[in-house]
Structure 1
């Protein structure tokens, strides 16, 4: 531990000396290891231009340093200057054919060129020369992920974790593969074996809990999250997941307690505030529910779930004016959110503001929401406000998405009959009756005069007589 601290201090001193040199334009000597740590510092902090300058100065003082040249390759690859990077790697391979970093960088280039199979071959070669198997297995796992080969990806991440059981990114990737393959029971079995060797791994207990949650085994999920908290009482993720499980078990007060712990451990999160609001609403504490929904959108105005929670709350209470107020606020923040526009349209429809409702439904369609309900509501509003041609057009557009839907056909039939377009009306009515005779109620409710026509009744009877 002392060595690591001293190494950290030395790196900081090197960086301070180096930056002081740049400010004074007084060139000082640094050994190649110092340059490496300086360059790594800049790369890790995304300061590519500074890293490039350090590489250039480093190579001017140590022109034969393979490691500095490899860092130059890393930057070239980052900048997509792959041909130049490849040329340099060929030269370096001739000098140090057993340097694993050369194979790693070659594999990185091939990966960028979508040649993942060849990249894996080179990484397997790197395994022969490396002292850090875990890193290589992790890189191989990522290449298999790029190929959507989750089975082999999982195997390599497992090898990584066998070498370094503190590599939680590997553990997360293993579980990601299990989840994608929908192997929840297998994931639990693997995690339990891991926990036999690492009984206080809060991350593993957390993942076990999530697997049981997905399997809807809430009692076992709860026990796993409790063990995660025992392993690390400051583990916010475990409290959040435990809260979700308690909600499923309808233990809302206990869920609130767990969500509140997360607020004490760290800055408030919009997720925790939203869930507390939901719990209070289910407990019938409306004032506290709204209070927390308001805190949610204040904390994160871009979280649509917060605005939707407030809007839906007031819609359930039939307070449409307040629901509209909050929907308008949400739209002013994110005018591209389909969920907001759907509610805007629905609320305006309830309030009898049909032109605004029409605008809302049209906007949801423009944004790519092609649900049947959207088309039907738009058509009904256009029909109501006396725009039959536009209503008919919207139903014909709906047919492109729902060619065999009776509700669309009945509406078209009704509107064509109203326009005295009898042959078109008959065509769509026959089509509708062939699809579903039960939906004649649409004609009865929306087109009462059409429904009462003798020719329409006669046509309906053709399809409904036993």
Structure 2
């Protein structure tokens, strides 16, 4: 048996004495006896040893050790066994129904299984136990976002921001506004976010891209430049900055940017699409087609790549190939008048007057 000692000081005339009493150390309950060891192996990612200790602990406690079940569920989730982890977290919630963590983990597993409505119920139950938990409010907003209930998503994300100004919550709230069709609100959210997180390259890049879509090139360049200052290899910012330079005819400068991006994302379809159109701008048509075909191989259902391939082949007077790519682009995006116009040009040069006329008529209808 282990012993601890207790020191007692007594006052006696002309002297002081220390009296040492040896007391038995308190024994931990058998249910909790190995918790410290389970925790140690879990945080060191020694999952095999951790599972062996958990098995012993559960055998000794007849499956009543909450912490051992909880950690086993976490390990199963890391291994991708979400359904099994859910069942174990539910067992934890039965053993300790007043634990917010248990309810949050049940909700998280349901969320990962795509059962968003069921996850919402458990998050609300957890919120009743702890109203000031940022994670609960943020994840409620996330669940409502996935079931396309943007009003409730916005409400809970704003509550989360009141509890804690977190960059993930700002990003998600901005996405909610964008999907709800309110670009101005999204921009305001990202502006606020950048004030709190001025070095967050994802926020800076997203804000720069929104300004780019609105044609506010100065503000777009400013935010994209800031993103590249903090992360020179941020490929999204590089692509956006390169496309701006490309739009203004600075093809060589844009190509230098794309070379940097190619080191990080060599298999990016938008990157090869942009490089192809740089070569097209420099009138190097064979190189342009080579790059665009690589983009098409990486993303065969991207209508923009097909559009560009049709345009380059049309410029090279390869009308049959142009017809092939433009037809494919129209199948993917039948609401763009310009595609019908280019198709009509290809058909005219292929001497198919009847279908060319139909394509021109369709282009006119789309423009109206």
Normalising by structure 2, we get a TM-score of 0.66
RMSD: 4.4
Partner of residue 158, structure 2? 294
Of 260-269 and 237-246, deviating more is: 260-269
2: CA distance between counterparts of 1:427 and 1:201? 68
Of 368-377 and 266-275, deviating more is: 368-377
Contact preservation (8 Å) 1:413, 1:428 = yes
Q: Pick from 208, 211, 219: which aligns with 1:348?
A: 211
Contact preservation (8 Å) 2:31, 2:64 = no
1:208 equivalent in alignment to 2:72: yes
2: CA distance between counterparts of 1:383 and 1:443? 19
2: CA distance between counterparts of 1:400 and 1:247? 35
Contact preservation (8 Å) 1:409, 1:429 = yes
Residue 387 of structure 1, CA deviation: 4.4
Residue 411 of structure 1, CA deviation: 3.4
Q: What does the per-residue CA deviation read over 1:172-192, in whole Å, with 9 as the maximum and x for residues that have no partner?
A: 122234x466x5xx7545423
1:237 equivalent in alignment to 2:96: no
Q: How does 1:133-144 map to 2 (within 5 A)?
A: none
Normalising by structure 1, we get a TM-score of 0.53
Count of aligned positions: 302
2: CA distance between counterparts of 1:320 and 1:176? 42
**The structure with more helix, counted as a fraction of residues:** 1
2: CA distance between counterparts of 1:32 and 1:446? 93
Contact preservation (8 Å) 1:451, 1:457 = yes
Alpha carbons of structure 1 residues 396 and 230: separation in structure 2 relative to 1, 3 Å: closer
Contact preservation (8 Å) 1:398, 1:408 = no
1:317 equivalent in alignment to 2:180: yes
2: CA distance between counterparts of 1:312 and 1:255? 21
1:332 equivalent in alignment to 2:332: no
1: CA distance between counterparts of 2:72 and 2:92? 9
Contact preservation (8 Å) 1:411, 1:442 = no
Contact preservation (8 Å) 1:320, 1:351 = no
Q: What does the per-residue CA deviation read over 1:323-377, in whole Å, with 9 as the maximum and x for residues that have no partner?
A: 1100000000011112211221222223222332233333333222635443332
Partner of residue 273, structure 2? 407
Q: Which runs of 5+ in 2 are unaligned?
A: 323-368
Contact preservation (8 Å) 2:174, 2:186 = yes
1: CA distance between counterparts of 2:83 and 2:314? 59
Residue 166 of structure 1, CA deviation: 3.0
Alpha carbons of structure 1 residues 452 and 344: separation in structure 2 relative to 1, 3 Å: same
1:274 equivalent in alignment to 2:133: no
Relative CO higher for 1 or 2, CA cutoff 8 Å, sep ≥ 6?
2
Residue 32 of structure 1, CA deviation: 11
2: CA distance between counterparts of 1:345 and 1:447? 30
Partner of residue 173, structure 1? 40
Contact preservation (8 Å) 1:338, 1:369 = no
2: CA distance between counterparts of 1:283 and 1:270? 20
1: CA distance between counterparts of 2:148 and 2:264? 41
Alpha carbons of structure 1 residues 188 and 384: separation in structure 2 relative to 1, 3 Å: same
Residue 208 of structure 1, CA deviation: 1.9
Contact preservation (8 Å) 1:395, 1:412 = no
2: CA distance between counterparts of 1:436 and 1:280? 35
1: CA distance between counterparts of 2:199 and 2:70? 35
Q: What does the per-residue CA deviation read over 1:408-463, in whole Å, with 9 as the maximum and x for residues that have no partner?
A: 5413312333xxxxxxx468548637967869975964995x76544x969x99xx
